[in-house]
Each structure stands twice: as structure tokens, then as C-alpha cells.
């Protein structure tokens, strides 16, 4: 009996909104201060550098997405390019694990913001929100991405308010452009800011639910990366213009500090927006990880039970429920600080493998609907390994 396929219901607009939402997430609410501590007044340039670091790998994903438009994403790329089923399975399970752990950490953090606004038991909040988002993911991919687009619009609205406040504020005493950029600080800030761009890779796992994936996937990856780079650069510019660098670098809530400095008040609305950012990240990771499990089920008989789309909803229900339950359990019971820190390292290792796989695949089969020069995956491989080394050093 042939299994019903996933339903192709997603166009360029929703897919791009999904990519922007995954990348923006809640990280920008914290990272601006840390990047400013390294790069100083050149923090906006550090975010541009981070976008350039991410770009080669994003382009590698874009080419592979036209070669192998499958839900298994990275697992399919690595398995085909490096001709290793075992490595492909390892990569696929690593991506599922990283997405689940990340979503669990974000769920706990989002509930932390929520309990600061509403008097609610955090355990029940984590369970309730986790189950609600899991049910949305089960109901349909169009419904999931439409809700994610609403969350993304709320996130972007909050960031635009911060940009407006910071650029319109009286300039900080530190707002004096030095004669030349301090490239060491910009480089360190750029490596740190790179982690704010992680998320573009989730786009490729929607391949089997996208209309005309060979055309839509690469465009969504590149457009979302450009939008996010511009947004981050403007947020960083507003922050370093409005707030003295020592205060900005030492703040755990740098964007709230920008608002308070520029406009006064307690910036409580940013905490509410951070809740929506968390919900967006959780929903996106549940959807993504379930698609990877679905794709792995089509490649490995032992996981075959996950390669099933509900005939009515058109979603991988069993995979979605499993991932959603794991996210809730991670948020409730696992000490996530160390585990959450490993997710970036896992993904950087996957980035390196995808770039290596594309190098081999391009030598084997040069033709593709969307092609990048061979230098792109080579540079992506080098940059991913360099970022991985920095990330591992930071964990020791």
C-alpha cells in the first residue's frame, strides 16, 4: 500500500516568513549586548560579517535543495554526497535531537518571560503551550506556517520599535566613530553573531510540502538571509547609538535597555514579544524535526513507521507527536544549559558535512538547476570548521 504524501501547500511568502522567524527567534534579544562587548561601536558591522560567514553554507544548502528536494534535508545531502547511509542516519538524528533540545530550552525560557507577565504555574504553562503548539503542527503545515508568520510579524514589529527608538534617541557619548575599525573585535563579534543566523537550514526540510521546491527553496533561503542580515544590522546600529557601550555589553536585556534609554518606561512589552518569539521558535523546531523523522522513515526501514502522512491533515502525525512530547519533557526535566549549548556545535558539524558533501557531489555531477561556484562550499566548509572550533573552545 502506497503511503499518502505530504501536501504541497506552501509558497515562497510563507516559507520565507518561516525562515526569517526561525533565524530571528529570541536570540537577538540577548546577542546584541554580547556582540557589542566584543565589537564596540562596530557591532553592526560584526552582524554583517556574521551574515557573510553564514552565506556560503546557505548557498550550499540552496544548491542541494534543488538537487535533492526531500524532507530528510541534511541527511539526504550527506548520504548522497558522501555515499554513507550510516553517516546520513547520524546526521538526521543529530538534527532531530538538536531541534528538540533547542525547542525545549526555548519553551522553558519563553515560560520564564510569560510568568513575569502572568501569574501562572510554570509547569502547567510548559505542558499547555507545548501541547497546543504540537496540535497546531499536527493540524496542517499551512496552519503551522501561517501561525508562525503571525508570530514573526509580532517579533519584527517589536524589533522595528527598538530600531525606531534607538535611531531617534539622543546619541550616546560613545557614539564617536573611531578612525579605523578594530578587526579583531569585529571578528570575535562576528563569530558570536553567527549563531543568530542559525535556522536557515530548517527551510530545506519543508521540501516535500513546498510548491515548485527546486525554484522556491533556494529563493526562500537567500531572501530570508538578506532580510535577517539587514534587520540585525539596524538593531545593532540603534543599540550602539543609544546606549553607552559598557552598559550595553553588561546587560542581560539589551533591547529593553535601548527602549528604556531612548523612550523611558519599563519595556514590559518586549517581554511579551519575547514570549511570541519563543512560541515561534518552538513551533518551527517541532515542524522541522518531524519532517526530518518523516524523511528518515522513507530511507530506513527501522524508522518506517514515521514515514506516514495523515490522509486528512497531510502531516506526519506520529513524528510530530513524538517530537512535541520530547520537547515538553526536555523543558520539564532536563538540565538544558549544557545541552542547549551543544546544539550550535551539532549544527556547525552538520554544516561542515553538508559543504563537504556538496564539494564531492559537484565533482560527480556538475549540473544542477541552481548552481554555485565550487569556491562556495569550500569556503563554507572552512568557515563552518572555524566557527565549530570557536564554539567548542567556548564550551571548555
Q: Is residue 5 part of a domain?
A: no
**Would you state the pLDDT for residue 168?**
86
DSSP run (H or E) holding 8 = none
Supply the pLDDT for residue 2.
Answer: 56
* Structure confidence at residue 337 (pLDDT): 55
**Domain presence at residue 75:** yes
CA-wise closest residue to 347 among 187, 240, 152, 194: 194
- Alpha helices in 169-203, H assignment, sequence order: 183-194
pLDDT for 274 equals 78
> 301 in a domain, yes or no?
yes
In a domain, 104, yes or no: yes
Cα–Cα distance measured from residue 117 to residue 274, given in angstroms and rounded to the nearest whole number: 11
What global pTM score does this model have? 0.84
pLDDT of residue 177: 65
177: domain CATH number is: 1.20.1740.10
Q: Where are the alpha helices (DSSP H) in the chain?
A: 12-24, 28-39, 43-67, 74-81, 85-115, 122-139, 141-168, 183-194, 213-242, 245-249, 254-263, 268-299, 317-333, 336-364, 375-395
Predicted local confidence at residue 396, as pLDDT: 62
Number of domains in the chain: 1
Q: Are 352 and 392 in contact (CB under 8 A)?
A: no
| pLDDT value for 30 | 65
Q: Is residue 3 part of a domain?
A: no
Reading the block at residue 17, the C-alpha cell is 516568513
Indicate whether 93 belongs to any domain.
Answer: yes
Q: Is 4 part of any domain?
A: no
Measured between alpha carbons, how far is 15 from 205 in angstroms, rounded to an integer? 11
Q: Is residue 6 part of a domain?
A: no
Residues spanned by the domain of 75: 12-395
Q: Which of 324, 329, 293, 279 is nearest to 123 (CA)?
A: 329
Residue 113's nearest CA partner among 271, 297, 229, 239 is: 271
pLDDT given for residue 1 in this prediction: 45
The CA-CA-CA angle for residues 208, 278, 326, to 5°, reads 65
Average pLDDT per consecutive 10 residues, the chain (396 residues; last block may be shorter): 67 89 73 82 87 89 88 87 91 88 82 80 91 90 85 88 88 72 75 78 83 88 90 90 85 80 78 82 88 87 84 85 92 67 78 94 89 93 86 67
Grid cell digits, residue 67: 538537487
Per-residue pLDDT, 26 = 55
Q: Exposed, middle or buried: residue 356 (CB in 10 Å: 0-12, 13-18, 19+)?
A: buried
Q: Cα separation of 293 and 322, whole Å?
A: 10
Three-state secondary structure call for residue 210: strand
Amino acid at each position: 500500500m502506497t503511503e499518502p504524501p505530504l501536501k504541497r501547500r506552501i509558497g515562497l511568502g510563507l516559507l520565507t516568513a518561516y525562515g526569517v522567524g526561525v533565524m530571528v527567534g529570541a536570540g537577538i534579544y540577548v546577542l546584541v549586548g554580547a556582540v557589542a562587548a566584543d565589537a564596540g561601536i562596530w557591532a553592526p558591522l560584526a552582524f554583517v560579517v556574521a551574515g557573510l560567514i553564514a552565506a556560503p553554507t546557505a548557498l550550499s544548502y540552496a544548491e542541494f535543495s534543488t538537487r535533492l528536494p526531500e524532507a530528510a534535508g541534511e541527511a539526504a545531502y550527506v548520504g548522497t554526497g558522501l555515499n554513507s547511509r550510516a553517516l546520513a542516519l547520524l546526521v538526521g538524528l543529530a538534527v532531530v535531537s538538536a531541534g528538540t533540545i533547542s525547542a525545549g530550552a526555548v519553551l522553558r525560557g519563553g515560560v520564564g518571560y510569560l510568568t513575569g507577565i502572568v501569574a501562572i504555574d510554570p509547569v502547567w504553562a510548559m505542558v499547555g503551550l507545548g501541547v497546543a503548539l504540537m496540535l497546531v503542527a499536527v493540524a496542517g503545515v499551512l496552519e503551522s506556517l501561517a501561525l508562525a508568520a503571525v508570530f514573526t510579524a509580532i517579533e519584527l514589529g517589536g524589533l522595528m520599535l527598538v530600531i525606531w527608538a534607538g535611531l531617534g534617541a539622543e546619541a550616546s557619548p560613545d557614539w564617536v566613530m573611531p578612525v579605523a575599525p578594530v578587526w579583531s573585535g569585529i571578528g570575535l563579534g562576528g563569530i558570536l553573531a553567527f549563531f543568530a543566523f542559525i535556522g536557515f537550514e530548517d527551510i530545506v526540510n519543508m521540501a516535500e510540502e513546498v510548491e515548485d521546491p527546486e525554484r522556491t527553496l533556494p529563493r526562500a533561503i537567500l531572501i530570508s538571509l538578506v532580510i535577517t542580515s539587514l534587520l540585525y544590522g539596524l538593531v545593532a546600529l540603534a543599540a550602539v547609538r543609544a546606549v553607552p557601550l559598557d552598559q550595553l555589553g553588561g546587560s542581560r536585556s539589551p533591547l529593553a535597555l535601548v527602549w528604556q534609554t531612548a523612550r523611558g518606561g519599563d519595556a514590559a512589552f518586549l517581554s511579551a514579544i519575547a514570549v511570541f518569539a519563543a512560541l515561534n521558535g518552538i513551533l518551527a523546531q517541532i515542524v522541522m524535526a518531524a519532517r526530518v523523522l518523516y524523511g528518515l522513515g522513507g530511507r530506513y526501514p527501522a524508522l518506517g513507521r514515521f514515514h506516514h502522512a495523515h490522509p486528512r491533515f497531510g502531516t506526519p502525525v506520529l513524528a510530530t507527536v513524538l517530537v512535541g512530547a520530547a520537547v515538553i519533557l526536555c523543558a520539564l526535566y532536563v538540565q538544558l544549559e549544557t545541552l542547549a549549548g551543544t546544539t550550535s556545535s551539532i549544527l556547525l558539524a552538520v554544516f561542515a558535512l553538508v559543504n563537504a558533501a556538496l564539494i564531492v557531489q559537484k565533482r560527480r555531477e556538475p549540473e544542477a538547476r541552481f548552481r554555485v561556484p565550487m569556491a562556495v562550499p569550500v569556503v563554507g566548509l572552512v568557515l563552518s570548521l572555524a566557527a565549530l572550533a570557536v564554539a567548542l573552545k567556548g564550551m571548555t
